[in-house]
Structure 1
Amino acid sequence: MKLVSAVVMTGLLSPLASADMVISSDDIRAAELMPKAQEFSGFGCDGGNQSPHLSWSGAPEGTQAYAVFAYDPDAPTGSGWWHWQLVNLPATTTTLAAGAGAADNTALPPGSMQMRNDYGAHAFGGACPPAGDKAHRYQFTVFALKQKLELPADASAALTGYMVNANALDSVTLEALYQRD
Protein backbone atom coordinates (compact mmCIF):
# COMPACT_ATOMS: atom_id res chain seq x y z
CA MET A 1 0.00 0.00 0.00
CA LYS A 2 1.19 3.50 -0.65
CA LEU A 3 0.74 6.17 1.98
CA VAL A 4 -1.42 9.09 0.82
CA SER A 5 -1.32 10.94 4.12
CA ALA A 6 -0.34 10.04 7.64
CA VAL A 7 -3.55 8.08 8.13
CA VAL A 8 -5.54 7.70 4.91
CA MET A 9 -3.90 5.02 2.79
CA THR A 10 -4.67 3.68 -0.63
CA GLY A 11 -2.84 1.06 -2.54
CA LEU A 12 -2.80 -0.92 -5.72
CA LEU A 13 -2.73 -4.62 -5.00
CA SER A 14 -2.76 -5.70 -8.63
CA PRO A 15 -1.30 -4.41 -11.88
CA LEU A 16 -4.90 -4.55 -13.21
CA ALA A 17 -5.99 -1.72 -10.92
CA SER A 18 -6.45 1.48 -12.86
CA ALA A 19 -7.57 4.06 -10.30
CA ASP A 20 -6.81 4.91 -6.70
CA MET A 21 -9.72 4.52 -4.34
CA VAL A 22 -10.74 7.23 -1.88
CA ILE A 23 -12.73 6.90 1.35
CA SER A 24 -14.61 9.36 3.54
CA SER A 25 -16.96 9.37 6.51
CA ASP A 26 -19.50 11.74 8.01
CA ASP A 27 -18.81 10.22 11.46
CA ILE A 28 -15.08 9.68 11.84
CA ARG A 29 -12.00 11.59 10.74
CA ALA A 30 -8.46 10.50 9.95
CA ALA A 31 -6.11 10.77 12.95
CA GLU A 32 -8.91 12.07 15.21
CA LEU A 33 -10.68 10.43 18.13
CA MET A 34 -13.93 8.69 17.20
CA PRO A 35 -17.12 9.71 19.00
CA LYS A 36 -18.74 7.64 21.74
CA ALA A 37 -21.22 6.31 19.14
CA GLN A 38 -18.41 4.10 17.80
CA GLU A 39 -17.52 2.70 21.26
CA PHE A 40 -18.57 -0.87 22.07
CA SER A 41 -21.36 -1.59 24.54
CA GLY A 42 -19.99 -4.27 26.87
CA PHE A 43 -16.63 -5.43 28.28
CA GLY A 44 -16.65 -2.30 30.49
CA CYS A 45 -17.47 0.03 27.59
CA ASP A 46 -20.82 1.83 27.34
CA GLY A 47 -20.89 3.40 23.88
CA GLY A 48 -23.41 3.29 21.06
CA ASN A 49 -21.71 0.35 19.26
CA GLN A 50 -22.60 1.91 15.92
CA SER A 51 -20.62 1.36 12.76
CA PRO A 52 -19.68 4.71 11.18
CA HIS A 53 -20.94 6.05 7.88
CA LEU A 54 -18.45 5.15 5.14
CA SER A 55 -18.37 6.23 1.51
CA TRP A 56 -15.86 5.33 -1.21
CA SER A 57 -15.15 5.81 -4.89
CA GLY A 58 -12.50 5.13 -7.50
CA ALA A 59 -12.69 1.34 -7.62
CA PRO A 60 -10.88 -0.20 -10.56
CA GLU A 61 -12.60 -1.65 -13.59
CA GLY A 62 -13.56 -5.26 -12.97
CA THR A 63 -14.72 -4.74 -9.40
CA GLN A 64 -17.43 -7.34 -8.73
CA ALA A 65 -17.91 -6.85 -4.98
CA TYR A 66 -16.54 -5.06 -1.92
CA ALA A 67 -15.38 -6.03 1.55
CA VAL A 68 -15.13 -3.69 4.54
CA PHE A 69 -12.89 -4.39 7.52
CA ALA A 70 -12.47 -2.56 10.85
CA TYR A 71 -9.32 -3.57 12.70
CA ASP A 72 -7.40 -2.42 15.79
CA PRO A 73 -3.70 -3.32 15.37
CA ASP A 74 -2.96 -1.95 18.86
CA ALA A 75 -5.16 -4.37 20.83
CA PRO A 76 -3.06 -6.17 23.47
CA THR A 77 -3.69 -9.62 21.98
CA GLY A 78 -0.57 -10.30 19.94
CA SER A 79 -2.74 -10.37 16.81
CA GLY A 80 -4.86 -7.20 16.96
CA TRP A 81 -8.67 -7.15 17.15
CA TRP A 82 -11.21 -7.61 14.34
CA HIS A 83 -14.14 -5.26 14.92
CA TRP A 84 -15.87 -5.87 11.60
CA GLN A 85 -15.49 -8.04 8.53
CA LEU A 86 -18.20 -7.43 5.97
CA VAL A 87 -17.94 -9.22 2.61
CA ASN A 88 -19.83 -9.55 -0.67
CA LEU A 89 -21.21 -6.04 -0.83
CA PRO A 90 -22.54 -5.60 -4.38
CA ALA A 91 -20.31 -3.66 -6.78
CA THR A 92 -23.02 -0.97 -6.97
CA THR A 93 -22.59 -0.18 -3.26
CA THR A 94 -20.40 2.84 -2.51
CA THR A 95 -21.87 3.98 0.81
CA LEU A 96 -22.77 2.41 4.13
CA ALA A 97 -25.01 4.39 6.45
CA ALA A 98 -24.12 4.82 10.10
CA GLY A 99 -25.34 1.75 11.95
CA ALA A 100 -25.22 -0.50 8.87
CA GLY A 101 -23.20 -3.03 10.86
CA ALA A 102 -26.10 -3.88 13.20
CA ALA A 103 -26.61 -7.60 13.80
CA ASP A 104 -30.07 -7.59 12.19
CA ASN A 105 -28.49 -6.89 8.74
CA THR A 106 -31.47 -4.72 7.70
CA ALA A 107 -29.28 -1.80 6.57
CA LEU A 108 -27.06 -3.96 4.35
CA PRO A 109 -27.61 -4.77 0.68
CA PRO A 110 -28.89 -8.28 -0.08
CA GLY A 111 -26.09 -10.83 -0.42
CA SER A 112 -23.78 -9.07 2.04
CA MET A 113 -22.29 -11.19 4.83
CA GLN A 114 -21.06 -10.01 8.21
CA MET A 115 -18.44 -12.41 9.48
CA ARG A 116 -17.87 -13.12 13.18
CA ASN A 117 -15.89 -10.35 14.86
CA ASP A 118 -13.55 -10.87 17.81
CA TYR A 119 -16.42 -10.16 20.23
CA GLY A 120 -18.10 -13.26 18.79
CA ALA A 121 -20.93 -11.48 16.92
CA HIS A 122 -21.77 -11.35 13.22
CA ALA A 123 -21.93 -7.54 13.32
CA PHE A 124 -19.87 -4.42 13.89
CA GLY A 125 -18.29 -4.28 17.35
CA GLY A 126 -17.14 -0.86 18.47
CA ALA A 127 -13.88 0.33 19.98
CA CYS A 128 -13.12 -0.76 23.54
CA PRO A 129 -9.42 -0.33 24.27
CA PRO A 130 -8.31 -0.94 27.86
CA ALA A 131 -9.05 2.03 30.11
CA GLY A 132 -5.99 4.21 30.54
CA ASP A 133 -4.20 2.71 27.52
CA LYS A 134 -2.76 4.91 24.76
CA ALA A 135 -5.03 5.85 21.88
CA HIS A 136 -5.60 2.85 19.62
CA ARG A 137 -5.73 3.03 15.83
CA TYR A 138 -8.92 1.82 14.15
CA GLN A 139 -8.40 1.01 10.48
CA PHE A 140 -11.53 1.02 8.33
CA THR A 141 -10.55 -0.54 5.00
CA VAL A 142 -12.65 -0.97 1.87
CA PHE A 143 -11.45 -3.60 -0.60
CA ALA A 144 -12.53 -3.76 -4.25
CA LEU A 145 -12.82 -7.46 -5.10
CA LYS A 146 -12.55 -9.24 -8.44
CA GLN A 147 -15.32 -11.65 -7.39
CA LYS A 148 -17.79 -12.45 -4.64
CA LEU A 149 -16.32 -14.72 -2.00
CA GLU A 150 -17.38 -18.24 -1.09
CA LEU A 151 -16.98 -18.35 2.69
CA PRO A 152 -18.70 -20.41 5.37
CA ALA A 153 -20.70 -18.32 7.86
CA ASP A 154 -18.34 -19.38 10.65
CA ALA A 155 -15.10 -18.60 8.77
CA SER A 156 -12.28 -17.34 10.97
CA ALA A 157 -10.97 -13.80 10.65
CA ALA A 158 -7.75 -15.23 9.21
CA LEU A 159 -9.58 -17.18 6.48
CA THR A 160 -11.76 -14.17 5.65
CA GLY A 161 -8.68 -11.93 5.48
CA TYR A 162 -6.87 -14.41 3.26
CA MET A 163 -9.78 -14.66 0.80
CA VAL A 164 -10.26 -10.88 0.69
CA ASN A 165 -6.56 -10.21 0.09
CA ALA A 166 -6.33 -12.97 -2.54
CA ASN A 167 -9.20 -11.36 -4.49
CA ALA A 168 -8.46 -7.66 -3.91
CA LEU A 169 -7.96 -5.36 -6.88
CA ASP A 170 -7.48 -2.23 -4.75
CA SER A 171 -8.09 -0.97 -1.22
CA VAL A 172 -8.28 2.22 0.79
CA THR A 173 -8.04 2.78 4.56
CA LEU A 174 -9.35 5.49 6.88
CA GLU A 175 -7.53 5.31 10.22
CA ALA A 176 -9.23 6.92 13.21
CA LEU A 177 -8.33 6.78 16.91
CA TYR A 178 -10.06 5.91 20.18
CA GLN A 179 -9.00 6.12 23.81
CA ARG A 180 -10.74 5.59 27.16
CA ASP A 181 -9.78 7.35 30.38
Structure 2
Amino acid sequence: MYSHDIKDGQFQPDQVLSAAFGLGCQGGNLSPHINWEGMPQGTQSFALTLFDQDANNGKGWTHWVVVNIPYRVNSLPRGAAGSGAVAAVGALQTLNDFGQAGYGGPCPPPGQTHHYVVTLTALSVAKLPLDKTATPAMAAAAIAGSKIAAVSFAATYER
Protein backbone atom coordinates (compact mmCIF):
# COMPACT_ATOMS: atom_id res chain seq x y z
CA MET A 1 0.00 0.00 0.00
CA TYR A 2 1.27 3.47 -0.78
CA SER A 3 0.22 7.06 -1.37
CA HIS A 4 1.52 9.75 -3.69
CA ASP A 5 0.54 12.20 -0.95
CA ILE A 6 2.54 10.57 1.85
CA LYS A 7 6.29 10.05 1.41
CA ASP A 8 8.82 8.61 3.86
CA GLY A 9 6.28 8.70 6.67
CA GLN A 10 5.50 12.39 6.19
CA PHE A 11 2.39 14.01 4.78
CA GLN A 12 3.67 16.10 1.90
CA PRO A 13 3.26 19.74 2.95
CA ASP A 14 2.49 20.97 -0.55
CA GLN A 15 0.01 18.18 -1.18
CA VAL A 16 -2.10 16.70 1.60
CA LEU A 17 -1.98 19.32 4.34
CA SER A 18 -1.28 22.49 2.46
CA ALA A 19 -3.91 25.21 2.50
CA ALA A 20 -5.76 23.27 -0.20
CA PHE A 21 -6.07 20.07 1.84
CA GLY A 22 -6.38 20.89 5.55
CA LEU A 23 -9.42 20.72 7.79
CA GLY A 24 -10.14 23.05 10.67
CA CYS A 25 -6.99 25.01 9.91
CA GLN A 26 -7.91 26.05 6.40
CA GLY A 27 -8.34 24.51 3.01
CA GLY A 28 -10.25 22.04 0.92
CA ASN A 29 -10.17 18.92 3.13
CA LEU A 30 -9.10 16.55 0.35
CA SER A 31 -8.53 12.91 1.24
CA PRO A 32 -5.11 11.50 0.24
CA HIS A 33 -4.49 9.17 -2.67
CA ILE A 34 -4.20 5.54 -1.51
CA ASN A 35 -3.13 2.64 -3.73
CA TRP A 36 -2.67 -1.06 -2.98
CA GLU A 37 -1.68 -4.21 -4.82
CA GLY A 38 -2.58 -7.84 -4.31
CA MET A 39 -4.96 -9.34 -1.81
CA PRO A 40 -5.10 -12.38 0.43
CA GLN A 41 -7.04 -15.40 -0.77
CA GLY A 42 -10.71 -15.13 0.13
CA THR A 43 -10.85 -11.33 0.00
CA GLN A 44 -14.35 -10.13 -0.89
CA SER A 45 -13.90 -6.44 -0.05
CA PHE A 46 -11.66 -3.94 1.71
CA ALA A 47 -11.98 -1.36 4.47
CA LEU A 48 -9.76 1.70 4.77
CA THR A 49 -9.23 3.82 7.88
CA LEU A 50 -7.18 6.88 8.79
CA PHE A 51 -6.59 7.25 12.52
CA ASP A 52 -4.72 9.89 14.56
CA GLN A 53 -3.04 8.06 17.45
CA ASP A 54 -2.21 11.22 19.40
CA ALA A 55 -5.49 13.15 19.39
CA ASN A 56 -8.06 13.20 22.18
CA ASN A 57 -5.41 13.00 24.93
CA GLY A 58 -3.87 9.87 23.41
CA LYS A 59 -7.17 8.02 22.95
CA GLY A 60 -7.04 8.67 19.22
CA TRP A 61 -9.33 10.14 16.60
CA THR A 62 -10.80 8.51 13.51
CA HIS A 63 -10.53 10.79 10.49
CA TRP A 64 -11.87 8.46 7.79
CA VAL A 65 -13.60 5.09 7.45
CA VAL A 66 -14.41 3.56 4.06
CA VAL A 67 -16.00 0.10 3.95
CA ASN A 68 -17.36 -2.22 1.29
CA ILE A 69 -14.62 -1.33 -1.19
CA PRO A 70 -15.04 -4.05 -3.85
CA TYR A 71 -12.16 -6.52 -4.13
CA ARG A 72 -11.55 -5.45 -7.75
CA VAL A 73 -10.74 -1.85 -6.68
CA ASN A 74 -7.08 -1.12 -5.88
CA SER A 75 -6.95 2.63 -5.30
CA LEU A 76 -8.80 5.72 -4.21
CA PRO A 77 -7.70 8.97 -5.85
CA ARG A 78 -6.82 12.16 -4.02
CA GLY A 79 -10.06 13.88 -3.06
CA ALA A 80 -12.13 10.68 -3.39
CA ALA A 81 -14.00 11.31 -0.14
CA GLY A 82 -15.70 14.46 -1.37
CA SER A 83 -15.80 13.88 -5.10
CA GLY A 84 -18.23 10.98 -5.29
CA ALA A 85 -15.44 8.55 -6.22
CA VAL A 86 -16.02 6.41 -3.11
CA ALA A 87 -19.71 5.90 -3.89
CA ALA A 88 -18.94 5.44 -7.60
CA VAL A 89 -16.99 2.24 -6.86
CA GLY A 90 -19.76 0.96 -4.58
CA ALA A 91 -18.03 1.72 -1.28
CA LEU A 92 -19.45 3.48 1.77
CA GLN A 93 -18.05 6.17 4.07
CA THR A 94 -19.23 5.88 7.66
CA LEU A 95 -19.04 8.47 10.42
CA ASN A 96 -15.68 9.79 11.55
CA ASP A 97 -15.01 11.24 15.00
CA PHE A 98 -16.05 14.66 13.71
CA GLY A 99 -19.57 13.18 13.47
CA GLN A 100 -19.65 13.35 9.67
CA ALA A 101 -19.83 10.57 7.10
CA GLY A 102 -16.65 10.95 5.09
CA TYR A 103 -13.16 12.34 5.49
CA GLY A 104 -12.01 14.87 8.06
CA GLY A 105 -8.49 16.04 7.37
CA PRO A 106 -5.70 16.15 9.97
CA CYS A 107 -5.09 19.40 11.81
CA PRO A 108 -3.22 18.95 15.10
CA PRO A 109 -2.81 21.82 17.54
CA PRO A 110 0.04 24.22 16.67
CA GLY A 111 3.45 22.91 17.74
CA GLN A 112 2.33 19.29 18.11
CA THR A 113 3.36 16.37 15.93
CA HIS A 114 0.63 13.79 15.44
CA HIS A 115 0.98 10.26 14.09
CA TYR A 116 -1.58 9.16 11.52
CA VAL A 117 -2.08 5.50 10.64
CA VAL A 118 -3.66 4.48 7.35
CA THR A 119 -4.89 0.87 7.47
CA LEU A 120 -6.27 -1.25 4.64
CA THR A 121 -8.08 -4.39 5.80
CA ALA A 122 -8.98 -7.31 3.54
CA LEU A 123 -12.42 -8.64 4.47
CA SER A 124 -14.09 -12.03 4.03
CA VAL A 125 -17.47 -10.48 3.15
CA ALA A 126 -18.53 -8.33 0.20
CA LYS A 127 -20.61 -5.98 2.35
CA LEU A 128 -20.44 -5.14 6.03
CA PRO A 129 -23.87 -4.54 7.62
CA LEU A 130 -23.24 -0.82 8.10
CA ASP A 131 -24.69 2.41 6.81
CA LYS A 132 -23.40 5.98 6.75
CA THR A 133 -24.57 6.52 10.35
CA ALA A 134 -22.27 3.81 11.75
CA THR A 135 -19.90 5.19 14.37
CA PRO A 136 -16.15 4.53 14.20
CA ALA A 137 -16.55 1.96 17.01
CA MET A 138 -19.32 0.14 15.14
CA ALA A 139 -17.25 0.12 11.96
CA ALA A 140 -14.16 -1.12 13.84
CA ALA A 141 -16.13 -4.01 15.35
CA ALA A 142 -17.59 -5.01 11.97
CA ILE A 143 -14.17 -4.80 10.30
CA ALA A 144 -12.55 -6.90 13.04
CA GLY A 145 -15.26 -9.54 12.70
CA SER A 146 -14.56 -10.09 8.99
CA LYS A 147 -10.81 -9.37 8.88
CA ILE A 148 -8.57 -11.65 6.82
CA ALA A 149 -5.45 -9.47 6.98
CA ALA A 150 -4.44 -5.83 7.26
CA VAL A 151 -1.58 -3.60 6.21
CA SER A 152 -0.80 -0.15 7.60
CA PHE A 153 1.57 2.72 7.17
CA ALA A 154 2.08 5.69 9.41
CA ALA A 155 2.81 9.32 8.71
CA THR A 156 3.36 12.34 10.89
CA TYR A 157 2.23 15.91 10.58
CA GLU A 158 3.15 18.96 12.61
CA ARG A 159 1.57 22.34 12.31
Same fold (TM over 0.5): yes
Aligned residue number for residue 80 of structure 2: 100
Residue 153 of structure 1 and its aligned partner are, at CA, apart by 2.6
Does the 8 Å contact 2:47/2:67 carry over to 1? Answer: yes
Deviation at 1:36, TM superposition (A): 5.3
| Cα deviations by residue, 1:40-86 (Å, 9 ceiling, x for unpaired) | 332xx113311111111121111100100000011034521000000
TM-score (normalizing by structure 1):
0.78
The answer to whether the 8 Å contact 1:30/1:174 transfers is: no
The aligned residue for residue 143 of structure 1 is 121
Match of 1:41 in 2: 23
Q: What one-letter code is carried by the residue in structure 2 that aligns with 1:170?
A: A
Q: TM-score, normalised by structure 2?
A: 0.88
Q: Which amino acid is the alignment partner of residue 137 of structure 1? A: H
Q: Are the counterparts in 2 of residues 38 and 47 from structure 1 also a CA contact under 8 Å?
A: no
More helix per residue:
2
Residues 110 and 129 of structure 1: CA distance in aligned 2, closer, same or farther (over 3 Å): same
Identity level (%)? 39
Matches within 5 A, 1:123-142: 123-133=102-112, 135-142=113-120
Deviation at residue 99 of structure 1 after TM alignment: 0.5
Q: Equivalent residue for 1:29?
A: 7
Q: Which moved more, 1:23-32 or 1:65-74?
A: 23-32
Q: How many residues align?
A: 153
Q: 1:69 aligns with which of 38, 49, 53?
A: 49
| Aligned match of 1:177 | 156
- Match of 2:67? 87
**RMSD (CA atoms):** 1.6
Aligned to 1:10: none
Partner of 2:67, secondary structure, is strand
- Verify the 8 A CA contact 1:83 1:118 in the aligned structure 2: yes
CA deviations on 1:148-180 (whole Å, 9 max, x unpaired) are 201133111111001101111111112111111
User: In structure 1, what is the Cα distance between the partners aligned to 2:132 and 2:102?
Assistant: 12
Contact 1:37 1:50 in 2 (8 A): no
Which of 86, 95, 98 is matched with 1:119 structurally? 98
